[in-house]
Amino acid sequence: MAQRILSIDLGSWSVKAVLIETGFRGFRVERAIECPLHNVAAALPPDKNNQPEDASQPPPPAGFISIEEKEEQQRLALEALLADESLRADAYIAAFPGDETAFRFVHLPFSDTRKVGQVIEGELEDLVPFDLYEGVFDYEVLERNPVRGSSGNSLSLAAVAKKNAIRRYIERLNEANFDPKFLPIDVLELYNLYTHFLANDGTRPQTPDSSVTLDSSATLDSSATLDSSVSPASSSGVGELVEEDTSPKPQGRLIADIGHTRTLVLVASEKGIAYARVIRMGGADITRAIAKAYGLNWAQAEEGKHAEGFVATRQHPAADDAEQQLSDIITRGLTPLVRELRRTIATIRRERRVDINRVDLLGGGANLRNLPQFLAEAFSTSVALGAAVEQNVDHEIPSERRGAFAGALASALRVSGEAPVNSLDFRRGELAFSGGLQHLKNRLPALLSAVAVLTLLLGMYAVLRMSAVGTREKEVDLEFCSVTKEVIGREICEPDVAESVIRNPPSDLGSFILPSFSGFDILLEISAQAPASISVKVTDINITSERAIVEGEAPSFDSVDSLVAAYGESKCLKDIQKDRLRKKTGAPGVEFQLKMKVECS
């Protein structure tokens, strides 16, 4: 049975929704739609539209809105999307922000999954920066390595977030009449895109030019400060490696979903998720750099970035001085993100023992012209746009916006059933999904009314059916009376009386009982009981009501004995006697006569 799944992505630039329909033959993307936050900003009161509360204070930086303002705009945008009746679905999904989640890779010295479930909570208590009873956690076993003669070992990925943050996030969604059945973690859901599309993506990536080094403005600047909200690799859930491992490393893909204010980073290999991180940098940093350099307001800088955004490389240099100037400005805006991504790649190769052989770019921020070649030279690895993902988004969406739906599509794929997916879900315990019961409770009066109407209709149907049966029964009785009059000669309406008269019909000679077996029935019995393997020639049969005499010829005396034994198994032929048993004169075989009682009548 087909199922419609609606997944939403609450972004800082827009709210995206992807509707897929799943069935026995896979899934199909039905709709992909977004509502930019600036489209609903006008619906907010004037004091919530980027205006400082104190007039004596300077206005906030261009493009900056508070968390409360962003959440209100997201709510309005989500309500605008859900007003579209074509987005009605059987289940709803929304991803929880990965930057509010702690990830931990947990190594355990045994491979029994049941035992992992028993001890992993205790292992996490020392790995998260708050008391575990204040949070919600989920985990999945990534690797099991059973070893003969020992308990083996295992590797699990766990995600933990504060319970209050998850509850508040669900309440925000509920305010817009959106109750998600699943609440996965956004950065981990990128693994679903890897298994469904990117692992076998044949798109040709951009490769680094070994003769080129990155411009000094984009090199790793040790004096620059990191965003304080970005955890270092060791606190992103990656286990620390003490000794150098020289064994071959599995090939992995780094997936970077570049959004407006965040970049989701996930590394996946054939063994599953190898790394996850959220960097609070994105396309807004480029817009801010453009606005500052050219003295533009935020809307003008955004429009210019989308229309003319470009970064120059040796393979794709700027066409003129103006384009080169824009490239330098954008490069400065990209520098913090490039630095963190490069540091992330180095950390992954060192600590997670995974060799990054390709980077796939997703998200609205990945559409900057020439960005894949620019990053290929910065990272010294192949970089490509996630074309396989974009091709599965509604083709009515402009090509430059299809990558922005990666997060919503990734979450929707968790129920497609076509490939392995990340199964972590924060709707657990007291936060478990109860929308089905609530929906049933809200519709209970209507359901009770429907049951009452159905019961009434069934009662009426039963009454009408009984009436029809009674009428038909009277018609059958009249027909029975007519038939008995034609057969017996007089009308008898009682079936038992009619059957008795037919079995014992009156006669001028008096009452008599018809035998239950006739002579023909006895003949059939004698013929049927004769073994097919014996060639017997019957020359004479004499049948009366009490006795039958069979005369004939058989190949041998043993054949006659076999025939007698076969007749002895009959329920009607009793006391079988051999008589006149002798060899034939002048010919092979024997002659016989069998006498038997008939007790069938």
Q: Say which CATH number the domain at 217 has.
A: 3.30.420.40
Examine the domain organization and report whether 463 and 579 are in the same domain.
Answer: no
pLDDT of 175: 92
Same domain, 381 and 523: no
Question: Residue for token digits 């690895």?
Answer: 381
Secondary structure E strands in 116-152: 135-145
What region does 266 belong to: left with phi over 0, alpha with psi -120 to 50, or beta?
beta
Same domain, 210 and 352: yes
As given in the structure block, the two tokens for residue 239 are 């286990």
pLDDT, greater one: 8 or 489:
8
Find the Cα–Cα–Cα–Cα dihedral 423, 426, 429, 430, rounded to 10°: -150
CA dihedral 335, 340, 343, 345 (to 10 degrees): -110
Longest dimension (CA), the chain: 145
Give the Cα separation of 226 and 250 in Å (integer).
30
Structural domain includes residue 479: yes
Same domain, 318 and 273: yes
Copy the structure tokens of residue 151: 């308990």
Question: Does residue 10 lie within any of the structural domains?
Answer: no
Domain membership of residue 243 as a residue range: 204-385
Better-predicted residue by pLDDT, 174 or 441 = 174
Count of domains observed in the chain: 3
Residue 65 lies in a domain: no
Phi/psi for 371 (5° steps) reads -65, -40
Average pLDDT in the 179-187 region? 95
The amino acid present at 136, given as its one-letter code, is V
Residue with tokens 């023909």: 520
Token pair of 80 as six digits: 């605008």
180: in domain: no
pLDDT band at residue 521 under the 50/70/90 scheme:
confident
Residue 77's nearest CA partner among 174, 169, 171, 10 is 10
Measured distance CA(194)–CA(388) in Å, rounded: 10
Predicted confidence (pLDDT) at residue 232 exceeds the cutoff of 50 = no
Q: Is the pLDDT of residue 26 over 90?
A: no
Specify the pLDDT at position 80: 92
Q: Count other C-beta atoms under 10 Å from residue 157's C-beta.
A: 23
- Computed over its alpha carbons, how large is the radius of gyration of the chain? 44
Same-domain pairing of 491 and 535: no
Picking from 368, 385, 402, the residue at the C-terminal end of a domain is 385
C-alpha to C-alpha distance for 360 and 553, rounded to whole angstroms: 97
Same domain, 455 and 491: yes
Helix (H/G/I), strand (E/B), else coil: 343? helix
Residues 527, 482, single domain; the answer is: no
How many other CB atoms are found less than 10 A from the CB of residue 246?
Answer: 7
Residues 499 and 523 in one domain: no
- 355 phi and psi angles, rounded to 5 deg: -95, 110
Q: What is the pLDDT of residue 553?
A: 87
Nearest to 218 by CA among 338, 135, 398, 302: 338
Q: What's the whole-number mean pLDDT along residues 4-32? A: 90
Both 232 and 342 in one domain: the answer is yes
The answer to whether the predicted template modeling score (pTM) of the entire model surpasses 0.75 is: no
Task: For residues 478 and 530, state if they share a domain.
Answer: no
Instruction: Find which of 294-303, 344-353, 528-537 is predicted with most confidence, using mean pLDDT.
Output: 294-303
More confident residue, 297 or 24: 297
Q: What's residue 513's pLDDT? A: 54
Going by C-alpha positions, the residue among 489, 509, 488, 510 that lies closest to residue 499 is 488
* Of 289-303, 329-343, 488-502, 579-593, minimum mean pLDDT range: 488-502
- Model confidence at 448, pLDDT cuts 50, 70, 90, reads confident
**Residue 415, domain member (yes or no):** no
Distance CA 311, CA 251 (A): 29
Mean pLDDT of the chain: 83
Residues 210 and 357 in one domain: yes
Neighbours of 465 (CB within 10 A): 10
- The per-residue pLDDT for 334 is 94
